[in-house]
Structure 1
Amino acid sequence: MKTVEAETLINARNATVWEIITDGGNYTVWDSGITRIDGELRNGGAVRVRTRTGGNRTFRLRIRQIPGEMMIWTGGLPLGLFKGVRTFTLTPHRGMTHLRVTEKFTGPLLGLLHKSIPDIERAFAEYVLAVKKRAELLSRHETRLHASPGRPWLESGDDKAG
């Protein structure tokens, strides 16, 4: 078995981090290392993913979730000859979120295919830092909107400045 992992503590709520990691349509916006996702990151769903480190390969993955806590992407070769299981775990920690991403590679062909697996340790570290950056940015923006005294904008029918 080969295991790769990265983790970080994020100054944002679990819900904010969960929204980011399950919004496949925006992965390319915040430089996640994923260049394309086709399909929805929902429990029981399936997606096709392309990454910077994977070259032209498309990975077909099955998705399982415990909403707000854990997401698992599973892919590989038939008959379990080679299998990759990526687990995203969110844990509340003193008003923040601990994000841990782990991938375990197994199967009888692991020894042969091990050399073709790109060095994803750096990609994992970059991914968790990108999630952290996006979540903290969104969290600061959300905090400012809720903390602003008065109305930041006038709605139709409100008093007009004049």
Structure 2
Amino acid sequence: MHSLESEALINARPSTVWEVLTDAGNLTVWESGITAVDGELRNGGRVRFHTTGTGRRSIRVRVQQLPGRVMVWTARLPLGVSTTARTFTLAPADGMTSFHVKDEHRGLLHLLGGHTLRFANQSLADFVSAVKKRAELLDRL
């Protein structure tokens, strides 16, 4: 298994950060690295993303949530060849929000060559920074 992690302390309410993460219609507006979204980011939902660097290919993920606290996007290739999960965790922290994101890559493709699915190619730190910037902007309004 390969994993990557990034985190930030965001000067915004957890509800604002959650809204930034789950507002599929606006993910393409800010610097998320996502260029197109088809589907709703709700518990049990299935979403198709296009990201910078994927060209015409899309990534399909299944969404699991504990609303306002944890969301997981899971992408799988058949026969256990690859499973990638991106877990978003939010927690209140002295009037701010502790935001943590972890990508986990499992399966034969990852064992053989460290292969990652396309949505994991985006710098995780850049994504976290963009969420922070967006949430802090919206929380001031």
Q: Is the 8 A contact 2:84 2:117 kept in 1?
A: no
Identity of aligned residues (%): 52
Consecutive unaligned residues of structure 2, counting only runs of 5 or more, are: none
What residue is the counterpart of 2:138 in the other structure? 138
Aligned-partner residue type, residue 89 of structure 2: T
- SS of the counterpart of 1:55? coil
Displacement of 1:50 after TM fit? 1.2
Matched to 1:19, the amino acid is E
Amino acid corresponding to residue 125 of structure 1 in structure 2 = A
Q: Is the 8 A contact 1:5 1:102 kept in 2?
A: yes
Report the count of equivalent residues.
141
Aligned match of 2:61: 61
TM-score in terms of structure 2 length: 0.91
1:120 to 1:83, Cα distance in 2 relative to 1, 3 A = closer
C-alpha distance in 2 between matches for 1:116 and 1:13? 32
Is 1:38 the counterpart of 2:6 in the alignment? no
Segments of 5+ residues of structure 1 without an aligned counterpart are 142-162
Residue deviations 1:107-162 (CA, integer Å, cap 9, x gap): 12213453465695762111111111111111111xxxxxxxxxxxxxxxxxxxxx
Distance 1:84 1:103, change over 3 A: same
Structure holding more strand per residue = 2
8 A Cα contact 1:6 1:121, kept in partner? no
Counterparts of residues 13-162 of structure 1 (less than 5 Å): 13-112=13-112, 114-115=114-115, 120=120, 123-141=123-141
Q: In structure 2, what is the Cα distance between the partners aligned to 1:116 and 1:99? A: 23
Relative to the length of structure 1, the TM-score reads 0.80
In structure 2, the partner of 1:7 is: 7
Tell me which amino acid in the other structure corresponds to 2:44: G
